[in-house]
Amino acid sequence: MNASDRTPADLLRSALAADPARPLVTFYDDATGERVELSVATFANWVAKTANLLQGELSAAPGDRVALLLPAHWQTAVWLLACASVGVTAQIGGDPVGADYVVAGPEGLEAGLACSGDRIALSLAPLGRRFPTPPAGYADYAVEVPSQGDRFAPFVPVDPDEVALVVDGTELTGAQVVERARADAGELGLLDGGRVLSGRSYDTWAGVSAGLYAALAVAGGSVVLCRNLAELGAEGVAKRVESERVTLVLAD
């Protein structure tokens, strides 16, 4: 994190410059037993490829709206930072009717068909596997993203004062996302090098901050993002806190 960072994409660039090899997002799905760990470099590579898909293949541009019909998941985190990199507005749980694009997981596929623009489907299966057959009306993210470039540069510089995120009906500019994330990190006592375990959903600011932005806003921060954490039980959570060297638990 640098004091000059004004967008979420800036935060990621600073993390990549500081220590690309360290873990950034560790994801668990306690209903399936899945565990995925992404270093800063690996996460940034996924973001770059996804941003290139958005900008190059889908022709997304600043001012466009992307409805993300996705749960708290490592691929959702990738899409949030990809949208920030291009300068489009990420609408978590947004209305597909008013969106220019929709990105949906299995539970959002039917609703996402209401979007008249391009639609991308994510299987959310372990290891980012593709669908056996792409859902009708959608392109399969796992098919489209691998061929995209590993480096990304926006066609138009991202304006930190434009709306970058809509969550729970609240619009936030890129600069406001960064400011709020820094404030949350301070209020929560998240120190440099802190590691957050979050079991919160992404449908509120508190959830998406706990599960992504607050960790990005501190030097060396990382997140252990847990889906279906209730499946683990108190003893299991305690063991994970120890094994993952968690410094802050936000599971409610």
- On whether residue 177 sits in a domain, the answer given is yes
Complete edge-to-edge strand list for the sheet that includes strand 23-29? 34-39, 23-29, 222-227, 195-198, 248-250
- On whether residue 89 sits in a domain, the answer given is yes
- On whether residue 2 sits in a domain, the answer given is no
- On whether residue 88 sits in a domain, the answer given is yes
| pLDDT for residue 252 | 74
- On whether residue 1 sits in a domain, the answer given is no
pTM over 0.95: yes
Nearest residue to 39 via CA among 19, 53, 59, 56? 19
Nearest residue to 14 via CA among 2, 4, 6, 3? 2
- On whether residue 3 sits in a domain, the answer given is no
Number of compact structural domains in the chain? 1
- Which residues form the domain of 152? 8-250
CA 193 to each of CA 74, 158, 181, 204, 229: distance values in angstroms, whole numbers, following the listed order: 20, 28, 15, 24, 23
pLDDT above 90: residue 131: yes
Mean pLDDT of all residues in 88-112: 97
- Tens digits of residue pLDDT in 173-232: 999 999 999 999 999 999 999 999 999 999 999 999 999 999 999 999 999 999 999 999
Dist CA 28 CA 41 (whole Å) = 19
- On whether residue 42 sits in a domain, the answer given is yes
Q: What is the CATH number of the domain that holds 232?
A: 3.40.50.12780
- On whether residue 204 sits in a domain, the answer given is yes
Q: Give residue 167's pLDDT band: very low, low, confident or very high (50, 70, 90).
A: very high
